[in-house]
Chains A and B, each alone.
Chain A
Amino acid sequence: MADPIHQFKIDELFPVVKIAGQQIHFTNSAFYMALAVVLTAALMLGPTAGRRLVPTRMQSIAEMSYEFIANTIRSTTGEQGLKFFPLVFSLFMFILISNVIGLIPFAFTVSSHIIVTASLALLVFFTVIIYGFWKNGLGFLRLFVPRGIPIYILPLIVLIELLSFLSRPISHSVRLFANMLAGHITLKLVASFVTMIGAFGVFGWLGATLPLAFTVALTALELLVACLQAYVFTILTCIYLNDAIHPGH
């Protein structure tokens, strides 16, 4: 059976620069990240350049995704959150496009690597901390002290709040990474059943239709998960940013 982990292998395409004796390569991961950025930019800049009053189809896609994220931010953080629109929108489009590219057979899924999702989650985490302290000063620490809690259990609550705040980047990044990893491994495993059963001749081909149909259904589910996880990452970003903007409970 083919190794289902093999699809996540990072290949070095060509060397770029040497830093402190360490050769930095342009990898297939970097290539697909650049592709996601280029596709996002092409989708956002190309069709909207004409600024037609009656939008073309591509312009509607760009405008709808803009409105969708703007509404998400408005409903979770209020109007003040809109200054984070560029961050949230870039995160959403990058994750969405790289997830969907990853569904193409033989393509590399950028978000199936913990280092990529952890970088994005830590970016959000530090943005929340820095903006929270910059805007609220030490009042940001009210985030850890909920109101209306009896004084004798307050230390315990503060500890729990602090732990849950610190574990946010972990759950934030692992959620996206694990969904992509597990989804692609499951697809690969089920797809390898097709060839395994198909090796038994004519009756094998009949039997192989079952995992083949299951693969098609799983691909549809994975498309849903790819879009959904991009949205979940975005909405969690908005919820965390809301803590920095309105730290009181």
Chain B
Amino acid sequence: MDPLAAKFLGAGLACIGMGGAAIGVATIFGQFLAGALRNPSAAPGQTTTLYLGFALSEAFGIFSLLIALLLLFVL
């Protein structure tokens, strides 16, 4: 295979990993909303935990994007 084509294919494949991060972030916000609607008075105390979970799971999507960017621009 042409090395350049393989590079672009690899970058595209690496971006599939972002789907996992999307599922993770959606789960976190969905579960938070479900819990917050059941007990709205307890919800404000958990917003930092919410954003922490968001940032931690978003980071894994960023990791796969990073691999794609490295393949495209650096290697």
Residues on A lying within 8 angstroms of B by beta carbon are: 3-5, 174-175, 178-179, 181-182, 185, 225, 228-229, 231-232, 235
Contact = CB atoms under 8 A, between A and B. Distances in A.
Given A178-B59, A179-B59, A232 B52 contact: yes
Contact of B66 (A174, A225, A229): A174
A174 B69 CA distance: 14
A182 B65 contact: yes
Interface in B3-41: none
B62 A232 contact: no
B34 to A, nearest CB: 22
B42 interface: no
A223 to B, nearest CB: 13
Nearest to A181: B66
Interface in B31-72: 48, 51-52, 54-56, 58-59, 62-63, 65-66, 69
12 contacts: A4-B73, A5-B73, A174-B63, A174-B66, A175-B62, A179-B59, A182-B69, A225-B58, A228-B54, A228-B55, A229-B55, A235-B52
A179 B59 CA distance: 7
SS class of chain A's interface: helix, strand, loop or mixed? helix
Given A174-B63, A179-B55, A182-B69, 18 more contacts: A3-B73, A5-B73, A5-B74, A174-B66, A175-B56, A175-B59, A175-B62, A178-B59, A178-B62, A178-B63, A178-B65, A181-B69, A182-B62, A185-B69, A228-B51, A228-B55, A231-B52, A232-B55
A185 B52 CA distance: 23
A237 to B, nearest CB: 13
A228 B59 CA distance: 11
A9 B56 CA distance: 28
A231 B69 CA distance: 25
A225 B62 CA distance: 12
B50 to A, nearest CB: 11
Contacts of A232: 52, 55-56, 59
Nearest to A72: B48
B27 to A, nearest CB: 18
